[in-house]
Amino acid sequence: MKSEHALLSIKGLEITYPSQDGNDKVIAVKNLNLDLMAGEIGCLLGSSGCGKSTVLRAICGFEPLKSGEIYLRNKLVSSPSMTLPPGERRIGMVFQDFALFPHLNALENVSFGLQHLSSQQRTTVAMDWLSKVSLSDKAKAYPHELSGGQQQRVSLARAMAPEPDVILLDEPFSSLDIELRERLAFEMRDILKANHISALLVTHDQTEAFAIADKVGVMTNGKILQWDAPYDLYHKPATRYVADFIGRGVFVKGTVLADNRVKIEIGEIPLDQGHNIEIGKEIDVLIRADDIQHDDHSPMQAEVVAKTFRGADFLYTLKLQSGVEVLALVPSHHNHEVGEKIGITLALDHVVTF
């Protein structure tokens, strides 16, 4: 049943909670499968309440399983009939609020999980981890003397110091400034990768997920819909939900032509191999904001109906001749007014259809 080479393997996980009236059950996680390889950073991405934290708690050993199995390094740690206690699993946790001990300084926080070492070794190892997160000079600082980003790095060092098999991070950036988040996500990725640490992160923020993870699982209603590299989630969404959830885009009507091509209002696109759709059939085609390019000289025109300035680019909402609206990301030196008609070209090399 288990995948031999996965560091963390979850098979058919189901977890229920008693409902408020106590008579019924809330199914928080349903038939969830996941394999995380050694050194890999995985991410569960989904909106609030979809079951992300429940999965992490189950991996830690805090939730009994209704059905399924959890393996760490090929060892069964949870099943409906057994739950290895959290203290006997080699897991590090980083929480949304960092959960640092307020009365301990950075060094003491990082030393906390190293009780098995002599006091001198503890200090040496903890200092080493503080230096890996670039905080050697803050060893004596208390949490309230550190910025949010620094507290988060202490919390990461504390989780990494006992050298767990895997680090679990529950929305680790959500209490930080929005501008900081992406930079910190990249920084955290660098630290984890430099130290060959496997991690599973959960977040509701797609930018964060894409910035940090090698593999992302899109979750809804306790299920993972697709577990894939960010690039493939974006360009090859397996379901319409994933297509809608990841990135900006709209569906437009297309008609299947001969030779595996699809005609849409603004051009023709090859259909992915393997789709055997009959000629003449009408299908929905996903058009992302980066599939439409603006070209002042193109004869194909669309009307600007809305625009959002995003710094380097504008996100334009464009009305095609048929009245269908599409999105287009356009470099921000092309500043066109709402109501204006602008030239567009289609830059789409394959069709995503369902």
Minimum CB distance to Mg ion, residue 52 (Å): 5
Residue 139: what residue type?
A
Minimum CB distance to ligand ADP, residue 52 (Å): 3
DSSP 8-state assignment for residue 336: P
Nearer to ligand ADP, 173 or 314 (CB): 173
Instruction: Report the interface residues with Mg ion, using CB under 5 A.
Output: 53
Q: Is 326 exposed, middle or buried (0-12, 13-18, 19+ CB in 10 A)?
A: buried
28 binds, among Mg ion, ligand ADP, none (CB under 5 to 8 A by kind): ligand ADP
| Binds ligand ADP by CB under 6 A, chosen from 28, 65, 212, 256 | 28
**Per CB under 6 A, 172 contacts ligand ADP:** no
**Per CB under 6 A, 49 contacts ligand ADP:** yes
> Which region holds residue 160: left if phi is over 0, alpha if psi is between -120 and 50, else beta?
alpha
Nearer to ligand ADP, 24 or 259 (CB): 24
**Per CB under 6 A, 64 contacts ligand ADP:** no
Which of positions 29-48 make contact with ligand ADP (CB under 6 A)?
46, 48
146 binds, among ligand ADP, Mg ion, none (CB under 5 to 8 A by kind): none
Which residues are CB-neighbours of 243 under 8 A, at least 6 positions away? 237, 249, 251, 286, 352, 354
Q: At what angle do helices 178-194 and 148-160 cross, to 10 degrees?
A: 20
Tokens 């894939």 correspond to 228
Number of residues that bind ligand ADP (CB under 6 A): 11
| Binds ligand ADP by CB under 6 A, chosen from 9, 53, 111, 151 | 53
Bridge partners (DSSP) of residue 43 are: 201, 216
Minimum CB distance to ligand ADP, residue 34 (Å): 15
Minimum CB distance to ligand ADP, residue 113 (Å): 24
| Distances in whole angstroms, Cα of residue 169 to Cα of each of 57, 66, 75, 154, 285 | 11, 23, 22, 13, 36
17 binds, among ligand ADP, Mg ion, none (CB under 5 to 8 A by kind): ligand ADP
Distance CA 228, CA 237 (A): 9
Interface residue list for ligand ADP (CB under 6 A):
17, 26, 28, 46, 48-54
